[in-house]
Structure 1
Amino acid sequence: QVINYNYYYSLNAWLLLCPWWLCFDWSMGCIPLIKSVSDWRIIALAALWFCLIGLICQALCSEDSHKRRILTLGLGFLIIPFLPASNLFFRVGFVIAERVIYLPSIGYCILFTYGFSLLSKQAKQKKILAVAVLGILLINVMRCAFRSSQWRSEEQLFRSALSVCPLNAKVHYNVGKNLADKGNQNAAIKYYREAVRLNPKYVHAMNNLGNILKERNELQEAEELLSLAVQIQPDFAAAWMNLGIVQNSLRRFEEAEQSYWTAIKHRKKYPDCYYNLGRLYADLNRHVDALNAWRNATVLKPEHSLAWNNMIILLDNTGNLAQAEAVGKEALELIPNDHSLMFSLANVLGKSQKYKESEALFLKAIKANPNAASYHGNLAVLYHRWGNLDLAKKHYEVSLKLDPMAPGTKENYNLLRRKLEQLQKKGG
């Protein structure tokens, strides 16, 4: 352990001398441990302590007082700010962190400048020395500009770490998460799998990989990964919820319910879990339990649109139109610009023969989301019932243009056309 800590010190010193290996995260096996005295990396320890001891001796024993002051100042700035991150006094949660060498870099610059001044006094070819120093400065400026460009986007930053820390599971996890957020599931799966391979107890990688596999309907492997994640970390609420979703999809409803309640046990305020629990109860026709679960979701997260929407739809489907209307209006007070809530409430109002209110909400929903075929189709049905046949025809046609396969719309449109033809014949 002592040897490995000293090796980390030498790596920090190397990053000051040559800041080429830069990485946003140095944890999770990024640096393989030294396990044998035959490991060549021990040379780095020897070099570090040889230089430090030499500088300390000069700072303490030199006859030149000016030299002693400068070396003491430089070593003070180099060593003292680094001590809190050295693991000497307490454990820190990282192996290497570039931020901890910002202040020590002041000491490095003092020592480097003093060393250059000594060499320039003794060297015969001062121009060559000056060119060498300018060359180093130019290289570091270019490296700084290049590294800054890598910080412009998460993808560039995470990918840059792959060449520096290929054994770091967190690097692969972050690359995978970035790809998943962009919709590139195939590539994300590859990096998540590598993260799990490098760290078989990396529960967050298992959870995210399980989520993607769940979306791709690869339920068996998703369940295995999520089960392993909650086995490794029993209080991992998100993994319990996702396991419940997979079990629900596999129609193992009792296990799914148990998983959801376990997630809620470990995270009391978990609106998404209550929402999924409500979906489970709805699938089992336990309507009161479903409504209670969704209500809990909206209490914990008042802007939970999906929970509100499901309550409205369930109450609508079970014939509780007055209650559905009340819930819909309550939801729109909290989330006034949610077009899906407008649409659901408009359907309820239409069934309650409140055509004017229903029309206003349908038009508002269509203004917010003009390319939703179902919005135009249901507004057409409203006009059809209301007797505004020309407007009904117009919105049926818009709906079919947006989605020619919209269920029921073509049949309703054909019925309307026949009715219009009959009216024309009577009028003729």
Structure 2
Amino acid sequence: NQKDKALLNYLKAIKYDSLDVSAYNNIGVIYLERDIIDSADYYLSRAYKVNPDFFELLNNYATVLITKNEYHKAKSVLERALSINRLYIKTYITFALLFYEQGKNDEAEEYILKALEIEPNNSDANSFLKYIRNPKSERSSESKMSHEENQELLQIDGLINQGKYKEAEIRLKQFLKNNSEIAEGYMKLAMVQAKMNKYDEAVKTFSIALKIEPENVLLLKNMAVVYQKSGNIPKVVECYQKAAKLGDVAAQEWLNLNGIKW
């Protein structure tokens, strides 16, 4: 249970063997457990590139992709997992999560029931099934956002993916009037503003998000991207330094490569 020591040794392992898919996977898992999603993605995606059939990593990588709303890619990874082993119950549960996060409760329930066919008494599957079937009022809140609010942001993601930035900006501003404490909403708005070349507005919006979640590494790194596009390199470095101090290895490596202390 000494995760920091484990992490250090896994990092040493990939220095000796850059194709050690197991080490990449285990590093990713540690970051996933710590909710440092960007770093988890960095290492799990490397593992996937080295060996996309390494079964132990597939559910971990799919979970990260779902967290990042990369649903199509997550589905592809999970389909690969099922093609390797159709009796591994966790894959069905992760598939259910994939559909649930998209508001597709019928499909989510279908995969949970498939999981329960394999292992009827599985506690995770039974809990998830109850969560899907119960009305919102009977659930305990696991996040600041309701299911409806998540769905609204997913719809806005669709507009962004279609390049409808102005419409997305309007919808996000309206969303934030009613949900002023949701950092993710501000982050999405800032990224939209950056795509519209409104860099000053984007920075102000990111600043609001960081007041809500000052240790959100993903916020800091996205803010660095905006500063980079606007040519403000000192601020890029500052964002990466903050992310590095919070334990983000990708930020640490970027700073090390550029000879910058953190």
Bin of the TM-score, shorter chain as denominator length: 0.3 to 0.5
Task: State the structure with more CA Rg.
Answer: 1
**TM-score relative to the length of structure 1:** 0.30
**TM-score relative to the length of structure 2:** 0.48
Higher RCO structure, 1 or 2 (CA under 8 Å, sep 6+): 2
